[in-house]
Structure 1
Amino acid sequence: MMLDPLALTQALVAQKSINPPGDEAPIAQYLKGILEPAGFSCQVVTLGENRASLVARFGAGNKPALCLTGHMDTVPLGQAPWSRDPFGGQVEGDRLYGRGTSDMKGGLAVMVCSVVEAIKRHPQLELVLVITSDEEVGCQGAKLLWEQGHLDQKVGAILVCEPTGNLPDLGHKGSLWLEAICRGVTAHGSTPELGVNAVYLAAQKILVAKDLDLGPERHELYGRPTLNVGSFKGGLNINSVPDKASFTLDIRTLPSMSHQAVKDWVQQALGPEVELRWIIDAEAVEVDPKDPWIEECLGLLQARNQEPVPQRGGVYVTDASVLWRAYDRPPVMVLGPGDFSEAHKTDESCSVSKLYEAQEIYLEILERWARR
């Protein structure tokens, strides 16, 4: 009898893993308790207090493995009240509600259910599951796994189970987050002429950033690069001239763009009075649509849908930004049951029917991998 992806999604949603603080360790142990008895060799890697990732391997190791990956952490609930219990896993019609249902405990549940069934049918499979902590804040869990040498297996392809509505994304953009810091001179609020207001300087530089042109290049899968000012901080109290203000930049990059070069260009545009600091540096993942594995997967999806599958890339960032480089740039496909439009929303939900559809798709992908 196959594991039920709906029931497993509900069990994962019930375990809070909001990042920060994360608290993914109980989920890692819970999934280990499913995978290890099924035949996987499991390693729980500690990230910090009550934080851990899980690497699970199956096979003799004499052929390249298929890597399946997903993360356990979720974003916070937000300020708006939820109309349903965010950890209750309530089902209404075809919708399953709760934080992480789409991003991405649904995909994680389908992944685990699928591989447990697949190794029964195809014991010759070579698999590695990389189940990470701290993905939502810069893919830190995946980076730690790489730095500590846990991503040392030969991998032939990567299936990322992030939310795509069961339509494939071939790689994705990069993400460069920068903090821009402006400094001034403090003074009493009644004598602003004696100080230098850092908020005014930051406001001027935000307008410069707003008009920055990242160039005309357009990628056939990923579109154009983008820049957004995401947050602003300035001043400590009303009756003082602020001597420090900062804002953050979220730059989504193309595979051809060097993040160091982009940072240097932004620094030049903002001027020497602005200090730029790295926050997140996750480079783009580029995939060749003509790769044999990609073509095979697109073919099976087209046969299922009985219509052409659009070739597209993701505008988001996933742990593949780390894993792709750690595993020497194999083909990457992002494919999961969640709805990207539901990610990070109040009253987040996913389609129950897409959970089961994703399980059928994953089992077919795994069957074809076993034939290699």
Structure 2
Amino acid sequence: MKSVAEICSDLIRFDTTNPGSGERPAAEYVATLLADAGLKPVVFESAPRRTTVVARVEGDSPDALLVHGHLDVVPADPAEWQMHPFSGEIVDDCVYGRGAVDMKGSCAMTIATVLDLQARGVRPKRDLVLAFLADEEATGDYGSRHAVTEHRELFDGVTEAISESGGFSVTSGDVRVYPIAVGERGTSWMELTAHGVAGHGSRPAVDNPVATLVHALSRVASYQWPVRLTPSVAALLENLSEVIGRPIDLDRLDEEAARLGALGTLFKGQIRNSANPTMLSAGYKVNVVPSTASAHVDGRYLPGLQEEFLATIDELLGPKITREFVNLEDAPAAPYPSAFFDELGAALVAEDPGARPVPYVMSGGTDAKSFARIGIKGYGFAPLMLRPDLDYFGMFHGKDERVPVEGLEFGTRVLTRLLTHA
């Protein structure tokens, strides 16, 4: 049976860059592994080569847990990497390659855990639904959104889910903090358009849409969003205060985040909404004032704050800018405190007695948003014990992405404890 590191390496070698040629080869590999272990994977496509795999493992209770991950990855330029990003090489006890952290490593942990249970004839304590999805690195239209609308029956009985961006260790002195995501910020990707009067570039502009748009973007980019402490983030700050042995100053959270280093990254991007201009498009010739100019903005908002976020955006843009949503997704939240959160934390502590599980809200987003549409409560839990010097957040979409082999092996042991009566 393949090791978790070998499965991770194999998955990385499939170039599933999004946009690109699709996830089909990686999906077929996953489906073969599951079928060879005696499962009956369902493979479907939302478009040619945009492939998803779903399988159910029968457990002692029909109250099912969804374990989902995505097979697509963001682009990687080989010239910027020490090793080819799709080599899957294991060097210095780390698996290198695009997707090692985000999130083929996590998919490999799930697969390795389930294959081991099947080989040993161990039934999980509840039904498991495994989903290996397409298109998470875009909108999910070809992956999770398609799955919950066109294949809803595959998720019957599922009440909770676990996936990426949680359960990893952040070392602070002698304590290893393990943030478990109980929510995500919502997504508001917007296309902005300014309309004006076309004319010759050498003459005084009547109504230059480029200038109008640039001024509006400047207001958006420079706006200092107010701190908004949601209950989950407040709980995180309370837990971190206990870890560091002093109260965190809630009136100086930006300074506290900088002072706390790695621990500060757990709340720095989660205490307020944000909006970042990311793309600009206007004109076709240097001496022509165009009639339109457009831009894209990546907006993120905390649970419960969509209305406040959009009202602020409209005020910043002003009346001459129109906006359309490229992607609008609500900010999902899972119950905390909860018995299931305690189960996740107990599985970590069982493998790492120095673990300190804490609640966490993701600054970005995952496929949990799609599953929330059908009532599934999603938790970020892809357990990894990491070396203190490894910049976990820097691995996401960064160059030389890698994951320690020992971290993957730790993750499979934690998952085994979570999924079984061990």
Return the TM-score normalized by structure 1: 0.90
1:79-94 aligned within 5 A: 81-94=80-93
Task: Give the match for residue 205 of structure 1.
Answer: 216
1:156-305 aligned within 5 A: 156-162=159-165, 165=168, 167=178, 168-191=180-203, 193=204, 196-212=207-223, 214-219=225-230, 220-221=232-233, 222-258=270-306, 262-305=309-352
CA distance in 2, matches of 1:297, 1:250: 32
8 A Cα contact 1:104 1:163, kept in partner: no
CA distance in 2, matches of 1:3, 1:39: 16
Q: CA deviation at 1:173?
A: 1.8
Task: Give the match for residue 147 of structure 1.
Answer: 149
CA distance in 2, matches of 1:236, 1:146: 42
Task: Give the match for residue 406 of structure 2.
Answer: 353
> Which has the higher mean CA deviation after the structures are superposed, 59-68 or 44-53?
59-68
Corresponding residue SS for 1:35: helix
> Which has the higher mean CA deviation after the structures are superposed, 329-338 or 279-288?
329-338
Q: CA deviation at 1:51?
A: 1.4
CA distance in 1, matches of 2:299, 2:414: 33
Residue deviations 1:262-285 (CA, integer Å, cap 9, x gap): 335423442232110111222222
CA distance in 1, matches of 2:418, 2:2: 18
Selected match of 1:322 from 351, 370, 378: 370
CA distance in 1, matches of 2:323, 2:103: 32
Gaps of 5+ in 1: none
Residues 1:80 and 1:267: Cα distance change in structure 2 (over 3 Å): farther
Q: CA deviation at 1:183?
A: 1.8
Q: CA deviation at 1:175?
A: 1.7
Task: Give the match for residue 137 of structure 1.
Answer: 138
Corresponding residue SS for 1:144: helix
Q: CA deviation at 1:206?
A: 0.8
Q: CA deviation at 1:101?
A: 1.0
Amino acid corresponding to residue 122 of structure 1 in structure 2: V
Q: CA deviation at 1:301?
A: 1.4
Amino acid corresponding to residue 356 of structure 1 in structure 2: E
Percent same amino acid at aligned positions?
A: 24
CA distance in 2, matches of 1:190, 1:84: 50
Residue deviations 1:265-324 (CA, integer Å, cap 9, x gap): 423442232110111222222122321011121123134322322332221211011112
8 A Cα contact 1:160 1:336, kept in partner: no
CA distance in 2, matches of 1:321, 1:53: 17
* RMSD of aligned residue pairs (Cα, Å): 2.4
> Which has the higher mean CA deviation after the structures are superposed, 224-233 or 138-147?
224-233
Q: CA deviation at 1:232?
A: 2.0
> Which has the higher mean CA deviation after the structures are superposed, 302-311 or 46-55?
302-311
The answer to whether the aligner puts 1:16 opposite 2:15 as a matched pair is: yes
Residues 1:345 and 1:5: Cα distance change in structure 2 (over 3 Å): same
Q: CA deviation at 1:79?
A: 8.5
Task: Give the match for residue 116 of structure 1.
Answer: 115
CA distance in 1, matches of 2:417, 2:61: 22
Task: Give the match for residue 103 of structure 1.
Answer: 102
CA distance in 1, matches of 2:309, 2:157: 32
